[in-house]
Protein backbone atom coordinates (compact mmCIF):
# COMPACT_ATOMS: atom_id res chain seq x y z
CA UNK A 1 0.00 0.00 0.00
CA UNK A 2 2.79 2.39 0.92
CA UNK A 3 4.59 1.49 -2.31
CA UNK A 4 1.50 2.32 -4.38
CA UNK A 5 1.19 5.71 -2.68
CA UNK A 6 4.85 6.41 -3.27
CA UNK A 7 4.57 5.54 -6.96
CA UNK A 8 1.43 7.67 -7.31
CA UNK A 9 3.16 10.66 -5.68
CA UNK A 10 6.21 10.14 -7.88
CA UNK A 11 4.02 10.10 -10.97
CA UNK A 12 2.32 13.36 -9.91
CA UNK A 13 5.63 15.09 -9.31
CA UNK A 14 6.91 13.89 -12.68
CA UNK A 15 3.80 15.25 -14.39
CA UNK A 16 4.25 18.64 -12.73
CA UNK A 17 7.92 18.77 -13.67
CA UNK A 18 7.02 17.79 -17.23
CA UNK A 19 4.40 20.56 -17.48
CA UNK A 20 6.77 23.10 -16.02
CA UNK A 21 9.52 22.05 -18.37
CA UNK A 22 7.15 22.21 -21.33
CA UNK A 23 6.12 25.79 -20.46
CA UNK A 24 9.69 26.95 -19.85
CA UNK A 25 10.86 25.28 -23.04
CA UNK A 26 8.13 27.01 -24.99
CA UNK A 27 8.92 30.33 -23.30
CA UNK A 28 12.54 30.13 -24.44
CA UNK A 29 11.82 28.81 -27.93
CA UNK A 30 11.76 30.75 -31.20
CA UNK A 31 8.70 28.95 -32.56
CA UNK A 32 6.42 31.94 -32.98
CA UNK A 33 3.37 29.91 -34.06
CA UNK A 34 3.55 27.45 -31.15
CA UNK A 35 4.24 30.23 -28.66
CA UNK A 36 1.37 32.35 -30.03
CA UNK A 37 -1.10 29.45 -29.81
CA UNK A 38 0.02 28.56 -26.28
CA UNK A 39 -0.19 32.21 -25.13
CA UNK A 40 -3.79 32.43 -26.34
CA UNK A 41 -4.66 29.12 -24.66
CA UNK A 42 -3.17 30.24 -21.32
CA UNK A 43 -5.07 33.53 -21.68
CA UNK A 44 -8.39 31.71 -22.29
CA UNK A 45 -7.71 29.52 -19.25
CA UNK A 46 -7.22 32.62 -17.09
CA UNK A 47 -3.53 31.93 -16.48
CA UNK A 48 -2.61 35.54 -17.09
CA UNK A 49 0.88 35.50 -15.58
CA UNK A 50 1.94 32.79 -18.04
CA UNK A 51 0.15 34.35 -21.02
CA UNK A 52 1.77 37.70 -20.21
CA UNK A 53 5.24 36.17 -20.14
CA UNK A 54 4.62 34.36 -23.42
CA UNK A 55 3.22 37.46 -25.15
CA UNK A 56 6.15 39.52 -23.90
CA UNK A 57 8.61 36.96 -25.25
CA UNK A 58 6.61 36.66 -28.45
CA UNK A 59 6.64 40.44 -29.07
CA UNK A 60 10.28 40.21 -30.13
CA UNK A 61 9.48 37.51 -32.69
CA UNK A 62 6.39 39.19 -34.13
CA UNK A 63 7.81 42.71 -34.29
CA UNK A 64 6.84 44.21 -37.65
CA UNK A 65 4.50 41.36 -38.59
CA UNK A 66 0.72 41.34 -38.92
CA UNK A 67 0.45 39.81 -35.45
CA UNK A 68 2.42 42.62 -33.83
CA UNK A 69 -0.51 44.71 -32.57
CA UNK A 70 -2.46 41.63 -31.40
CA UNK A 71 0.49 40.32 -29.39
CA UNK A 72 1.20 43.72 -27.83
CA UNK A 73 -2.46 44.30 -26.95
CA UNK A 74 -2.90 40.88 -25.35
CA UNK A 75 0.35 41.35 -23.45
CA UNK A 76 -1.15 44.45 -21.86
CA UNK A 77 -4.54 42.78 -21.40
CA UNK A 78 -2.92 39.82 -19.63
CA UNK A 79 -1.22 42.17 -17.18
CA UNK A 80 -4.47 44.10 -16.73
CA UNK A 81 -6.45 40.96 -15.88
CA UNK A 82 -3.60 39.82 -13.63
CA UNK A 83 -4.14 43.16 -11.82
CA UNK A 84 -0.66 44.41 -12.56
CA UNK A 85 -2.04 47.82 -13.48
CA UNK A 86 1.26 49.66 -13.48
CA UNK A 87 2.78 47.34 -16.12
CA UNK A 88 -0.48 47.16 -18.07
CA UNK A 89 -0.70 50.97 -18.25
CA UNK A 90 2.83 51.03 -19.67
CA UNK A 91 1.84 48.34 -22.20
CA UNK A 92 -1.27 50.19 -23.36
CA UNK A 93 0.52 53.54 -23.50
CA UNK A 94 3.16 52.04 -25.78
CA UNK A 95 0.47 50.28 -27.83
CA UNK A 96 -1.46 53.53 -28.44
CA UNK A 97 1.70 55.27 -29.60
CA UNK A 98 2.83 52.40 -31.84
CA UNK A 99 -0.51 51.27 -33.28
CA UNK A 100 -2.85 54.29 -33.39
CA UNK A 101 -4.93 52.75 -36.21
CA UNK A 102 -5.22 49.24 -34.81
CA UNK A 103 -8.72 47.81 -34.25
CA UNK A 104 -7.65 47.46 -30.59
CA UNK A 105 -6.61 51.12 -30.19
CA UNK A 106 -9.94 52.43 -28.89
CA UNK A 107 -10.17 49.77 -26.19
CA UNK A 108 -6.49 50.21 -25.35
CA UNK A 109 -7.04 53.92 -24.72
CA UNK A 110 -9.82 53.24 -22.25
CA UNK A 111 -8.00 50.38 -20.54
CA UNK A 112 -4.99 52.66 -20.01
CA UNK A 113 -7.29 55.12 -18.21
CA UNK A 114 -8.75 52.32 -16.15
CA UNK A 115 -5.22 51.27 -15.15
CA UNK A 116 -4.44 54.82 -14.05
CA UNK A 117 -7.70 54.93 -12.08
CA UNK A 118 -7.06 51.59 -10.38
CA UNK A 119 -3.51 52.66 -9.49
CA UNK A 120 -4.70 55.62 -7.41
CA UNK A 121 -4.42 55.56 -3.63
CA UNK A 122 -6.74 56.09 -0.66
CA UNK A 123 -7.45 59.73 0.18
CA UNK A 124 -5.10 59.59 3.18
CA UNK A 125 -2.12 58.85 0.93
CA UNK A 126 -0.29 60.73 -1.84
CA UNK A 127 -2.76 61.94 -4.48
CA UNK A 128 -0.26 62.48 -7.31
CA UNK A 129 -1.62 59.39 -9.15
CA UNK A 130 -5.14 60.82 -8.71
CA UNK A 131 -4.23 64.08 -10.44
CA UNK A 132 -2.55 62.13 -13.25
CA UNK A 133 -5.65 59.98 -13.76
CA UNK A 134 -8.01 62.99 -13.69
CA UNK A 135 -5.98 64.79 -16.34
CA UNK A 136 -5.81 61.72 -18.60
CA UNK A 137 -9.54 60.94 -18.28
CA UNK A 138 -10.51 64.58 -18.88
CA UNK A 139 -8.37 64.71 -22.04
CA UNK A 140 -9.91 61.44 -23.25
CA UNK A 141 -13.46 62.78 -22.80
CA UNK A 142 -12.62 65.93 -24.73
CA UNK A 143 -10.89 64.02 -27.53
CA UNK A 144 -13.48 61.23 -27.79
CA UNK A 145 -16.83 62.73 -26.68
CA UNK A 146 -18.82 59.93 -28.33
CA UNK A 147 -16.85 57.02 -26.89
CA UNK A 148 -18.76 54.01 -25.55
CA UNK A 149 -17.12 54.34 -22.12
CA UNK A 150 -18.33 57.88 -21.42
CA UNK A 151 -20.39 56.99 -18.35
CA UNK A 152 -17.57 54.94 -16.89
CA UNK A 153 -15.21 57.87 -17.39
CA UNK A 154 -17.64 60.23 -15.66
CA UNK A 155 -18.00 57.82 -12.75
CA UNK A 156 -14.23 57.59 -12.39
CA UNK A 157 -13.88 61.38 -12.47
CA UNK A 158 -16.58 61.76 -9.84
CA UNK A 159 -14.92 59.26 -7.54
CA UNK A 160 -11.46 60.81 -7.95
CA UNK A 161 -12.70 64.36 -7.37
CA UNK A 162 -14.62 63.24 -4.29
CA UNK A 163 -11.39 61.68 -3.02
CA UNK A 164 -9.58 65.01 -3.41
CA UNK A 165 -12.49 66.80 -1.72
CA UNK A 166 -12.30 64.49 1.26
CA UNK A 167 -8.53 64.80 1.57
CA UNK A 168 -8.77 68.61 1.61
CA UNK A 169 -11.63 68.51 4.14
CA UNK A 170 -10.00 65.97 6.46
CA UNK A 171 -6.64 67.76 6.38
CA UNK A 172 -8.28 71.03 7.41
CA UNK A 173 -10.48 69.38 10.06
CA UNK A 174 -7.36 67.91 11.63
CA UNK A 175 -6.67 71.34 13.19
CA UNK A 176 -10.13 71.21 14.79
CA UNK A 177 -9.38 67.80 16.28
CA UNK A 178 -6.10 69.20 17.59
CA UNK A 179 -8.13 72.05 19.20
CA UNK A 180 -6.23 74.70 17.25
CA UNK A 181 -9.44 76.55 16.43
CA UNK A 182 -7.94 79.63 14.80
CA UNK A 183 -5.91 77.48 12.38
CA UNK A 184 -8.96 75.27 11.87
CA UNK A 185 -11.15 78.17 10.75
CA UNK A 186 -8.47 79.52 8.41
CA UNK A 187 -7.76 76.09 6.88
CA UNK A 188 -11.44 75.26 6.38
CA UNK A 189 -12.16 78.63 4.78
CA UNK A 190 -9.22 78.07 2.45
CA UNK A 191 -10.71 74.74 1.34
CA UNK A 192 -13.87 76.53 0.19
CA UNK A 193 -11.85 79.35 -1.31
CA UNK A 194 -10.00 76.86 -3.50
CA UNK A 195 -13.06 74.72 -4.24
CA UNK A 196 -16.43 76.26 -3.42
CA UNK A 197 -18.22 73.13 -4.67
CA UNK A 198 -16.47 70.72 -2.32
CA UNK A 199 -18.96 67.93 -1.57
CA UNK A 200 -18.29 68.39 2.16
CA UNK A 201 -19.31 72.05 2.03
CA UNK A 202 -22.04 71.67 4.67
CA UNK A 203 -19.65 70.00 7.12
CA UNK A 204 -16.95 72.57 6.37
CA UNK A 205 -19.29 75.50 7.06
CA UNK A 206 -20.37 73.83 10.29
CA UNK A 207 -16.80 73.38 11.49
CA UNK A 208 -15.94 76.95 10.49
CA UNK A 209 -18.72 78.20 12.78
CA UNK A 210 -17.79 75.82 15.59
CA UNK A 211 -14.13 76.77 15.30
CA UNK A 212 -14.92 80.48 15.64
CA UNK A 213 -17.23 79.82 18.60
CA UNK A 214 -14.70 77.70 20.48
CA UNK A 215 -11.91 80.13 19.68
CA UNK A 216 -14.05 82.92 21.14
CA UNK A 217 -15.07 80.99 24.26
CA UNK A 218 -11.42 80.13 25.05
CA UNK A 219 -10.15 83.68 24.44
CA UNK A 220 -9.16 86.23 27.10
CA UNK A 221 -12.11 88.43 28.18
CA UNK A 222 -10.91 91.47 26.24
CA UNK A 223 -11.04 89.53 22.94
CA UNK A 224 -14.24 87.58 23.42
CA UNK A 225 -16.74 90.14 22.15
CA UNK A 226 -15.02 90.55 18.80
CA UNK A 227 -14.59 86.82 18.39
CA UNK A 228 -18.17 85.98 19.35
CA UNK A 229 -19.28 88.43 16.68
CA UNK A 230 -17.09 86.55 14.21
CA UNK A 231 -18.91 83.36 15.20
CA UNK A 232 -22.29 85.07 14.72
CA UNK A 233 -21.15 86.12 11.26
CA UNK A 234 -20.25 82.49 10.47
CA UNK A 235 -23.57 81.36 11.96
CA UNK A 236 -25.57 83.67 9.68
CA UNK A 237 -23.55 82.48 6.68
CA UNK A 238 -24.45 78.92 7.58
CA UNK A 239 -28.18 79.32 8.15
CA UNK A 240 -28.48 81.64 5.16
CA UNK A 241 -27.19 78.90 2.89
CA UNK A 242 -28.38 75.80 4.75
CA UNK A 243 -31.46 76.69 6.82
CA UNK A 244 -32.67 73.07 7.00
CA UNK A 245 -29.33 71.43 7.82
CA UNK A 246 -29.18 68.72 10.44
CA UNK A 247 -26.56 70.91 12.14
CA UNK A 248 -29.07 73.76 12.53
CA UNK A 249 -30.38 72.86 15.99
CA UNK A 250 -26.90 72.50 17.45
CA UNK A 251 -25.73 75.78 15.94
CA UNK A 252 -28.88 77.55 17.17
CA UNK A 253 -28.01 76.45 20.71
CA UNK A 254 -24.42 77.61 20.29
CA UNK A 255 -25.69 80.91 18.90
CA UNK A 256 -27.83 81.40 22.03
CA UNK A 257 -24.83 80.74 24.26
CA UNK A 258 -22.86 83.31 22.30
CA UNK A 259 -25.70 85.80 22.75
CA UNK A 260 -25.69 85.25 26.50
CA UNK A 261 -21.91 85.66 26.54
CA UNK A 262 -22.48 89.04 24.84
CA UNK A 263 -24.90 90.01 27.60
CA UNK A 264 -28.11 89.52 25.65
CA UNK A 265 -31.19 87.73 26.97
CA UNK A 266 -32.27 84.73 24.94
CA UNK A 267 -35.72 83.20 25.38
CA UNK A 268 -35.92 79.59 26.48
CA UNK A 269 -37.82 78.84 23.30
CA UNK A 270 -34.62 79.46 21.39
CA UNK A 271 -35.94 82.61 19.69
CA UNK A 272 -33.05 84.56 18.22
CA UNK A 273 -33.06 88.14 19.48
CA UNK A 274 -30.16 89.39 17.38
CA UNK A 275 -31.15 90.03 13.79
CA UNK A 276 -28.72 90.50 10.92
CA UNK A 277 -29.41 94.24 11.16
CA UNK A 278 -28.55 94.18 14.87
CA UNK A 279 -25.43 92.25 14.14
CA UNK A 280 -24.25 94.74 11.51
CA UNK A 281 -24.93 97.60 13.95
CA UNK A 282 -23.00 95.81 16.69
CA UNK A 283 -20.11 95.16 14.35
CA UNK A 284 -19.88 98.84 13.38
CA UNK A 285 -19.99 99.84 17.02
CA UNK A 286 -17.15 97.44 17.83
CA UNK A 287 -15.02 98.84 15.00
CA UNK A 288 -15.57 102.41 16.26
CA UNK A 289 -14.59 101.38 19.79
CA UNK A 290 -11.43 99.68 18.51
CA UNK A 291 -10.42 102.80 16.55
CA UNK A 292 -10.92 105.00 19.62
CA UNK A 293 -8.76 102.69 21.73
CA UNK A 294 -6.04 102.72 19.05
CA UNK A 295 -5.96 106.55 19.10
CA UNK A 296 -5.46 106.55 22.84
Sorting pLDDT into bands at 50, 70 and 90, what band is 14? very low
Sorting pLDDT into bands at 50, 70 and 90, what band is 279? low
Rounded to an integer, what is the distance from CA 225 to the centroid of its chain?
41
- Architecture of the 180-296 domain: Alpha Horseshoe (1.25)
Say what the pLDDT of residue 291 is.
Answer: 58
pLDDT at 87 over 90: yes
With beta carbons less than 8 A apart as the criterion, state whether 176 and 153 touch: no
Say what the pLDDT of residue 136 is.
Answer: 97
Q: Which of 123-127, 157-161, 207-211, 270-274 is the least confident region?
A: 270-274
pLDDT at 268 over 50: no
Buried-exposed string 96-126: b where 16+ CB fall within 10 A, e elsewhere: beebeebebbebbbbbbbbbbbbebeebeee
Sorting pLDDT into bands at 50, 70 and 90, what band is 17? very low
- Mean local confidence (pLDDT), 12-40: 77
- Mean local confidence (pLDDT), 217-230: 95
Sorting pLDDT into bands at 50, 70 and 90, what band is 6? very low
pLDDT at 4 over 70: no
pLDDT at 276 over 60: no
Say what the pLDDT of residue 272 is.
Answer: 47
Q: Distance between CA 109 and CA 235 in Å, rounded?
A: 49
**Domain boundaries along the sequence of the chain:** 180-296
Q: Which helix or strand (DSSP H or E) is residue 179 part of?
A: none
Amino acid sequence: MNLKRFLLALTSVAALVSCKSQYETLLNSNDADAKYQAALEYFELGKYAKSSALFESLSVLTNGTERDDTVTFYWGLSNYLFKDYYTAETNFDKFIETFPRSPFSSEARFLRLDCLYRSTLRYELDQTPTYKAINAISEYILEYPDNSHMQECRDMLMDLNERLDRKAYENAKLYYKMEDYLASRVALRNVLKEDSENIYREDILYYIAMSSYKYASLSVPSKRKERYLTFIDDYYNFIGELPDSHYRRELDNVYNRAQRALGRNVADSGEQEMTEKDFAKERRKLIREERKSEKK
